[in-house]
Amino acid sequence: MRMSRYFLPILKETPADAQIVSHRLMLRSGMIRQASAGIYSWLPLGYRVLQRIERIVHEEQIRVGHNPMLMPTLQSADLWRESGRYDDYGEEMLRITDRHGRDMLYGPTNEELITDIVRSSVQSYRDLPLTLYHVQWKFRDEVRPRFGVMRGREFLMKDGYNFDVDRESAIHAYNRHMVSYLRTYERMGLKAIPMRAETGPIGGDHSHEFLVLAETGESAVFFDSRILDLSLGGRDVDTDSSEDCAAVFEAWTAPYARTDETHDPAKFEAAVPEDRRMNSRAIEVGQIFYFGTKYSEPMDARVVNEDGDRVFVHMGSHGIGVSRLAGAIIEASHDERGIVWPESVAPFHLGIVNLKQGDGDTDSASERIFARAGAAGLDALYDDRNERAGPKFATMDLIGLPWRITVGPRCLRAGMVELTCRRTGETDELEPDAAIERVRLSCHGP
């Protein structure tokens, strides 16, 4: 993409009402713009990040055999009356009346709708296990939306629902979701810690939240530092195997890790030696639930089991905050100059800065690098504006692209360009093709 044709409305001043760093940086870098309270437009740069996060979420869901689909944003109130949640949900639910006077709502979650789909299509244990998920916009009418996309009202969420014939199978689905979530966050460069959680309006007795450490997080967390050493890395977990998934669950839940909601100070002191007792702030980026027959009983969702009995299906639901992750990743990865994107979710892999726009040599070298980067499968943002070096560098630093190639007349006379790593600040002089190859290797691997 050429910057001269891109819509990148950088703000020179820090917006006064943005209290946390991710909100400030997303506004300043032209990623988002507030449309109304707690509701944002994703400008082209932000939309790229959102798409890359969403793609990783999809890939990791599909990898473990979950079925993608898409439910609508608006739902009929009738289904929520069946489950009993229509009255329970409170003012966070946005209630709507259509032109015919029918009660509707903007879905804050989808247990009822998905249960309705499955109960009418699935009659036998042979059609289970089944996990369906979607990535769709939700609405929760927060009384005081703030922190940008971190606590907005309209937000993008992945929510998935497992249907199983019994508790044992549903617990495997729960553990499988934990594995896939851990891998999802790792791919985004995040260290997300599963912590035992309250279940709130979703219900059930078995739930974990995933928390990313950040000074500005809304939750206080208490944990054994050993959990920071855990990583799936390239480990090959057979997610069809309940033993393999249970082993990951055991390993990640053995060390003490709780939010203030479930924290037990006596237990913490008894279980964790003092030098490993950590407390911090953290951001919730996902949650998984097992709630058994909480919805299948009132909604009469049953299957015939192997013995010929019609039994209520066992269910769980599992959510990842897709739009919130854009903010959470920035909270976890920025410096005083701006965002520092992990390569996996960066809006562009690479920025190209032409130090002397209009000069025949730097122009043609920059154009060539831009074309070669595209041919190497890299998304490059080429700053082809007639602008001084200082503002060009400041923009690249602010928007946080992992790599920058600087094309200047002096260096170019020796056939070289500068390659700068955003995270480390290290700069090397290289031939243009070698610079592209190094970026390609770093972003796509050998």
Minimal distance, residue 432 CB to a second copy, in Å:
25
Q: Which CB atom, from 69 or from 389, has the smaller least distance to a second copy?
A: 69
Task: Examine residue 60 and tell whether it contacts a second copy (CB under 8 A).
Answer: no
CB 419 within 8 A of CB 428: yes
- Residue 104 near a second copy by CB under 8 A: yes
Distance of closest approach, residue 238 Cβ to a second copy, in angstroms: 15
The phi and psi torsions of 181 (rounded to 5 degrees) equal: -70, -45
| Footprint of a second copy on 259-288 (CB under 8 A) | none
Phi, psi of 308 (to 5 degrees): 85, 5
For residues 168 and 166, give the distance between their C-alpha atoms in angstroms, rounded to a whole number: 6
- Given 19, 65, 391, 441, the residue binding a second copy (CB under 8 A): 65
Q: CB nearer to a second copy: give 43 or 257.
A: 43
* Residues contacting 241, CB < 8 A, separation 6+: none
Taking the least distance from each CB to a second copy, the nearer of 110 and 354 is 110
Least distance in angstroms from the C-beta of 394 to a second copy: 18
Distance of CA 234 to the CA centre of its chain: 20
Binds a second copy by CB under 8 A, chosen from 12, 16, 70, 243:
70
Interface residue with a second copy, options 64, 96, 247, 434 (CB under 8 A): 96
- Check binding of 143 to a second copy (CB under 8 A): yes
Q: Counting Cβ atoms within 10 Å, is residue 226 exposed (0-12), middle (13-18) or buried (19+)? A: middle
Asked if 370 touches a second copy (CB under 8 A), the answer is no
The residues, any chain, with a CB within 8 Å of residue 363's CB and separated by 6 or more, are: 354, 357
Shortest spacing between CB 220 and a second copy, in angstroms: 27
Count of chain residues binding a second copy (CB under 8 A): 53
Going by C-beta distance under 8 Å and a sequence separation of 6 or more, which residues neighbour residue 341?
49, 329, 333, 347, 400, 401, 402, 422
Could you tell me where the DSSP H helices lie in 84-233?
Answer: 85-88, 111-121, 167-187
DSSP state of 415: T
Tokens of 367: 């154009």
124 binding a second copy? (CB under 8 A): no
State the residue for tokens 């480390």.
Answer: 424
Residue whose C-alpha is closest to residue 418's, from 398, 393, 386: 393
Binding of residue 362 to a second copy (CB under 8 A) = no
Local structure of residue 114 (DSSP, 8 states): H
Q: CB-wise, 5 or 413, nearer to a second copy? A: 5
The distance of closest approach from Cβ of residue 223 to a second copy in the complex, given in angstroms and rounded to an integer, is: 35
Kindly state whether residue 74 participates in binding a second copy, applying the rule CB under 8 A.
Answer: yes
Which residues between 32 and 51 bind a second copy (CB under 8 A)?
33, 35-37, 39-44, 46-47, 50
Asked whether position 12 contacts a second copy by CB under 8 A, the answer is: no
Contact (CB, 8 A) for 162 and 177? yes
Residue 67 binds a second copy (CB under 8 A) = yes
- For residues 281 and 129, is the Cβ–Cβ distance under 8 A? no
Name which position in 15, 84, 86, 94 contacts a second copy (CB under 8 A): 94
The two tokens of residue 218 are 């809304």
Q: What residues line the site for a second copy (CB under 8 A)?
A: 5-7, 9, 30, 33, 35-37, 39-44, 46-47, 50, 65, 67-76, 78, 91, 94, 96, 98-99, 102, 104, 106, 113, 116-117, 120-122, 130, 132, 134, 137, 139, 141, 143, 153-154
